[in-house]
Amino acid sequence: MFHELRIYHPAPGRLPDLVERIGAVMPPFFERHGFAPRLGQWIGVAGAPTPVFAWLLRWPDLERRAAAFAALGADKEWNAIRLRTNGAGEMVRRYDLRFLSSSRAGSAVAIQPAAARCGLHEVRVLPIAVGRVRQAEEALAMVDLPALAATGTTVAGVFDNLAGGATPGVTLLLGWPDFDHRRDALAAYERRPEVVQARRREREQWAGDHLLGEASSLLLEPTRYGAIDLERERT
Are 182 and 167 part of one and the same domain? yes
Q: Choose one of 62, 84, 100: the last residue of a domain.
A: 100
Are 26 and 64 part of one and the same domain? yes
CATH of the domain at 39: 3.30.70.100
228 located within any domain: no
Are 217 and 128 part of one and the same domain? yes
Predicted pLDDT of residue 111: 59
Are 120 and 64 part of one and the same domain? no
Beta-carbon contacts of 183 under 8 Å, excluding residues fewer than 6 positions away, are none
Task: Give the 3-state secondary structure of the chain.
Answer: CEEEEEEEEECCCCHHHHHHHHHHHCHHHHHHCCCCCEEEEEEEEECCCCCCEEEEEEECCHHHHHHHHHHHHCCHHHHHHHHHHHCCCCCEEEEEEEEEEECHHHHHCCCCHHHHHCCEEEEEEEEECCCCHHHHHHHHHHHHHHHHHHCCCEEEEEEEEEECCCCCEEEEEEEECCHHHHHHHHHHHHHCHHHHHHHHHHHHHCCCCCCECCCEEEEEEECCCCCCCCCCCCC
- Of 180, 114, 101, residue with least CA distance to 149: 114
226 located within any domain: no
123 located within any domain: yes
Are 124 and 151 part of one and the same domain? yes
154 located within any domain: yes
Are 90 and 110 part of one and the same domain? no
Are 45 and 130 part of one and the same domain? no
Are 71 and 49 part of one and the same domain? yes
Are 30 and 90 part of one and the same domain? yes
Kindly give the confidence (pLDDT) of every residue in the chain, 235 residues in length, as a single tens digit, with 9 standing for 90 and above.
Answer: 999 999 999 999 999 999 999 999 999 999 999 998 888 899 999 987 889 999 999 999 999 999 999 999 999 999 999 999 999 899 999 999 999 999 988 876 765 555 667 899 999 999 998 899 999 999 999 999 999 999 999 998 999 999 988 899 999 999 999 999 999 999 999 999 999 999 999 999 988 888 888 899 999 999 988 666 666 545 4
Are 20 and 72 part of one and the same domain? yes
Are 142 and 161 part of one and the same domain? yes
What pTM was estimated for this model as a whole? 0.92
Are 48 and 148 part of one and the same domain? no
Q: Choose one of 47, 78, 100: the last residue of a domain.
A: 100
Domain that holds residue 149: 102-221
Total domains, the chain:
2
